[in-house]
Amino acid sequence: MTKTAWVFPGQGSQVTGMGTDLLDIPSARDKFAQAEAILGWSVTDICQSDAEQLSRTLYTQPSLYVVETILADLIRERGHQPDLVAGHSLGEYIALYIAGIFDWSVGLHLVKRRAELMDSVSGGMMAALMNFDREQLDMVIAQTPNVVLANDNSPAQVVISGTPEAVQAVMSQVKAKRAIPLKVSGAFHSHLIAAAAMEFQEILESVQFQPAIVPVVSNVEPIATVDPEILKQHLIKQMTGSVRWREISLLLPTQGIERVVEIGPGNVLTGLIKRTSPGLILENVRNATELPV
């Protein structure tokens, strides 16, 4: 048997119309109805609205959680199971659900609150840098207050986060092929959203985590574990901590993983993994037509 990891994308992967082809499947329709009861708004309506509304954190995160968990559950219904799971930022919540850490509605309640808190944050800035000098980047970040490496995605792609002045200072000093400001409301994955993270920590601590049925690799500490307390502590740190995706990609082959399936819209994670750990079999399940037989 080929050892397989399932990975789940986060904010930024959303696309208008995602999930709408799942409405032909009765179990998916039921999940969308349950989600509307919890959220107070329709995921399918939001996914069919304009890109700007879908891209608002308040709506993006719960919508991705619902669509990705439905896809993953449909794959499981067809007899497939992962040997390891991981998710990028918001995607970690889908990974934890698939690993049996919490049930579906608990996960959606957590994501709803996380989205509300992150949507309320303002004043920060994030920017993606492509094809840069890593040594120079590390040095400039170390010398610039109020900016951090938020997402270490691959050897050639990172996201920095901080105050607008600090982010722009780094962008002006580091030579990169491309540097793109991201459309987000705040400095996510940095100490600048500590107040929101503290509020969310209280919510997380009130939720009982179950032992995982498959190992989970967390964003802030790229090790595979089934320990519920370790996974909870990692999740508590996740909102202000760096997403260490490059290290997760490097870890996969060391765990005997030969095949990676990205479940959710787009192909961002398989693209990043390809650049970091070439040689793995990479597949995508983005919609109903790509579900395995």
Catalytic residues: 89, 189
Give the CA distances from residue 174 to residues 134, 169, 244, in Å, rounded to whole numbers and listed in that order.
9, 9, 20
Give the CA distances from residue 286 to residues 9, 266, 268, in Å, rounded to whole numbers and listed in that order.
11, 6, 11
Those residues whose C-beta lies under 8 Å from the C-beta of residue 65, and which sit 6 or more positions away, are: 90, 93, 94, 107, 108, 111
Give the CA distances from residue 28 to residues 31, 100, 203, 239, in Å, rounded to whole numbers and listed in that order.
5, 19, 28, 29
The dihedral through the CA atoms of 39, 42, 48, 49 has a sign that is: negative
Produce one character per residue of 66-82: b if its CB has 16 or more CB atoms within 10 Å, e if not. bbbbbbbbbbeeeebeb
Are 157 and 128 within 8 A, CB to CB?
Answer: yes
Supply angle C-alpha 245, 248, 250, rounded to 5: 115
| Strands 125-132, 176-181: pairing kind | antiparallel
